[in-house]
Amino acid sequence: MKGPRARDVDLGTVLLAVENVSLAFGGVQALTDVSFDIRKGEIRAIIGPNGAGKTSMLNVINGFYQPNSGRIIFKGEPRAAMRPYAAAQGGIARTFQNLALFRGMTVLDNIMAGRALKMRRGFFWQLIRHGPALKEEVEHRRRVEEIIDFLEIAAIRKIQVGRLPYGLQKRVELGRALAMEPDLLLLDEPMAGMNLEEKEDMSRFILDVNREYGTTIALIEHDMGVVMDLSDRVVVLDYGQKIADAAPNGVKCDKNVIRAYLGEPHGTSA
Amino acid sequence: MDLLYKIFIDPFVQMGTAPDLLVQTLWDGFVAGALYALIALGFVLIFKASGVFNFAQGIMVVFAALTLVGLHERGVPAFLALGLTIVVMLALAIGVERLVLRPLVNQSDFILFMATFGLTYFLIGLGQLVFGGNPKVMIANDLYLPSGAIEFRGLGGFVSFQKIDIAAVGITSIMVAVLAVFFQRTRIGRALRAVADSHQAALSVGISLEQIWVIVWFAAGIVALTTGIMWGARSQVDFSLEIIALRALPVLILGGLTSIPGAIVGGLIIGVGEKLVEFYWGPLLGGGIDTWFSYVIALGFLVFRPQGLFGEKLIERI
């Protein structure tokens, strides 16, 4: 039997590889010698108990943190650290664990902001809304409307994001990331705090993005059911170290993983 | 009774019987208000994009005006000097981003606020070193700014409008309109509002904080230059001009630190209110109340509506 998604895990080439990355904040070791890769077209889950370094890992990948050692190879190009601008430029988009939206702006403007890097016309033309800049704006608006339709948030597109319920804000954040037309989409707990129905919607969106647009996805998630259903491969972190890296079924039976979640060696709660 | 009459009745009787004086007072207040609004705008631009309360805005006004006049004194033609001053303001914006903001990124707002104090003293020193500390006369004529006054007869007397004031109001309006359209419509404007809302999210969509900071500091520099020219033309250019920045504080409290319309409306309310109260109620208190009246209004706002008329959220106390 194949994976739960009944699809070949033998996916494309390596899109991004993390090699021996270590990261420390003062005396706190957030990541220790972590290596794994993300292949083109797959959904890669990063799981682990609280404080395992999952979000730190995403922050290293999109350049918010600079690792102390190790390197990151993105699209075949090795570098000691990403920079946020270079990451966005290279096609890495992300969402955040605790939502980072432009709260004062409308849903539409938030998603349009995701196209910041794609708009190239000089501001003078934009100022007078004329000629090529107008055409460009219209073209971007069309793409953004497509995303809005896809995420089924057309009804709220003119509403200020800060006034929306949490589940919808999460969806808008995903929309903004999609507007970047990313090659690699990093999702930090996309289902956190959602009810069952919202989780099902979000799972569906994630799968559709992956299948229809072929977007590679790396996601952090606590809900094991979701991880097992969605992901092609899973990397497990605990105390900043990689303790397992396998297909979902493999991870489920892994001794180290079970121990980490039950907390045996450290004597703390899971 | 006599006092009550003087407070509640007499001023309005005067307004009714001498409408020309009323119009004159309103106009003077309006002009002052427009200039307050311009100064406040400089603060709002920088606060919106970086959350920094820029104490150096006042000295930037002086520094810009001083550079313009100083260059002209050394024989540079007026409009070339204007162009060079704009280049200097751009250099200042880049310098501030590289040497002040970038090393202090992720520090608390208060540390950035203190850094702008440092910037203030640096600019005072630099200005004095290069251009000397003597008061200078703004090169209004060489920049083809109008002088003289238009007198308007009627209303039982006459009202005089200084041409330089009309120009100041006109230029301020154009400046505000351009900035408003710029921030509402352009990609950079959208990016700027994005940065103001969330640094993290802005970074994640590939907005360059460095670029945005340079742009807002440059915009604030241009606003400072305009303020310097206008205010300098009405009095003179020296370092005491710096304190006009303090006159903008009540405007900011009234309008909210994050709102461009707030800066304008706040500026006009303070400007007009100040002049009206000074003219009609001032004599009761021996005059000179325009120096503190606006702070009293601001205090009232701080107690009852600390976010200002248009502010988005509760501002932090500085």
Tens digit of each residue's pLDDT (9 = 90 or more) over A160-176:
898 898 889 999 999 99
- Domain of residue A110 covers 97-181
In the structure, what pLDDT confidence band is assigned to residue B126 with cuts at 50, 70 and 90?
Answer: very high
> Which pLDDT score is estimated for B318?
44
> Which pLDDT score is estimated for A185?
95
> Which pLDDT score is estimated for B149?
85
Q: Is the pLDDT of residue B215 over 80?
A: yes
CB pairs A-B closer than 8 Å: 85
Please tell me which of the candidates A104, A126, A179 has its beta carbon nearest to residue B185.
Answer: A126
Residue B134 identity (one-letter amino acid): N
Highest mean pLDDT among A4-13, B8-17, B110-119, B181-190 belongs to B110-119
Best of A55, A96, A102, A115 to substitute, by most chain B Cβ atoms within 10 angstroms, is A102
Tell me the average pLDDT of chain B: 85
> Which pLDDT score is estimated for A123?
53
**Residue that is written with structure tokens 């006159």 in the block:** B247
Q: Is the pLDDT of residue A151 over 80?
A: yes
Q: Is the pLDDT of residue B314 over 70?
A: no
Same domain? A66 vs A140? no
Best of A61, A66, A106, A123 to substitute, by most chain B Cβ atoms within 10 angstroms, is A123
Question: By three-state DSSP, how is residue A45 classified?
Answer: strand
Residues 6 or more apart whose CB falls under 8 angstroms from that of B149 comprise: B160, B161, B162, B163
Report which of residues B248 and A144 the model is more confident about.
Answer: A144
> Which pLDDT score is estimated for A266?
52
pLDDT tens for B246-272 read 888 888 888 887 788 888 899 999 999
Mean local confidence (pLDDT), B46-59: 85
CA distance linking residue A29 with residue A239, whole number of Å: 8
Nearest chain A CA: its distance from B175 CA (Å): 14
Cβ distance A113 to B182 less than 8 Å, yes or no, reads: no
Tell me the average pLDDT of chain A: 85
Please tell me which of the candidates A100, A126, A176 has its beta carbon nearest to residue B200.
Answer: A100
In a domain, A172, yes or no: yes
Same domain? A108 vs A227? no
What fold is seen in the domain B20-304?
ABC transporter involved in vitamin B12 uptake, BtuC (1.10.3470)
In a domain, A210, yes or no: no
> Which pLDDT score is estimated for A2?
37
CA A199 distance to own-chain centroid:
16
User: Which residue from B minimizes the CA distance to A129?
Assistant: B185
Same domain? A113 vs A44? no
Same domain? A85 vs A190? yes
In the structure, what pLDDT confidence band is assigned to residue B290 with cuts at 50, 70 and 90?
Answer: confident
> Which pLDDT score is estimated for A126?
55
Q: Is the pLDDT of residue A4 over 50?
A: no
Strands (E), B73-198: 149-154, 157-162
Overall number of domains in chain A? 2
Same domain? A189 vs A263? yes
User: Which residue from B minimizes the CA distance to A121?
Assistant: B187
What CA–CA distances, in Å, run from A25 to A65, A67, A88, B143?
10, 10, 24, 56
Query: In this complex, is the C-beta atom of B174 within 8 Å of any C-beta atom belonging to chain A?
Result: no
pLDDT tens for B4-46 read 888 888 888 888 888 888 889 999 999 989 988 888 888 888 8
Highest mean pLDDT among A80-89, A182-191, B248-257, B293-302 belongs to A182-191
CA distance linking residue A267 with residue A205, whole number of Å: 38
Pairing of strands B149-154, A184-188: unpaired
Same domain? A116 vs A1? no
Positive or negative: CA dihedral A145, A150, A153, A154: positive
Of B310, B281, B278, nearest to B37 by C-alpha is B310
Same domain? A102 vs A173? yes
Query: In this complex, is the C-beta atom of B208 within 8 Å of any C-beta atom belonging to chain A?
Result: yes
Nearest chain A CA: its distance from B47 CA (Å): 15
Q: Is the pLDDT of residue B196 over 80?
A: no
Same domain? A112 vs A80? no
pLDDT tens for B233-242 read 888 888 887 7
Same domain? A238 vs A220? yes
Specify the CATH number for the domain of residue A103.
Answer: 3.40.50.300
In a domain, A105, yes or no: yes
- pTM (predicted TM-score): 0.78
Same domain? A67 vs A190? yes
Q: Is the pLDDT of residue A120 over 80?
A: no
In a domain, A209, yes or no: no
In a domain, A36, yes or no: yes
Range in A58-62, A95-99, A134-138 the model is least confident about: A134-138
> Which pLDDT score is estimated for A175?
94
The encoded tokens of residue B85 equal 């001053």
In the structure, what pLDDT confidence band is assigned to residue B129 with cuts at 50, 70 and 90?
Answer: very high
> Which pLDDT score is estimated for B134?
84
Could you tell me the residue ranges of all domains in chain B? Answer: 20-304
> Which pLDDT score is estimated for A20?
94
> Which pLDDT score is estimated for B224?
93
Same domain? A236 vs A219? yes
Mean local confidence (pLDDT), A17-46: 92
Cβ distance A176 to B201 less than 8 Å, yes or no, reads: yes
The encoded tokens of residue A87 equal 């990451």
Mean local confidence (pLDDT), A41-56: 91
pLDDT tens for B146-177 read 888 888 887 777 888 888 889 989 998 998 88
In a domain, A206, yes or no: no
Same domain? A27 vs A81? yes
CA distance linking residue B72 with residue A86, whole number of Å: 44
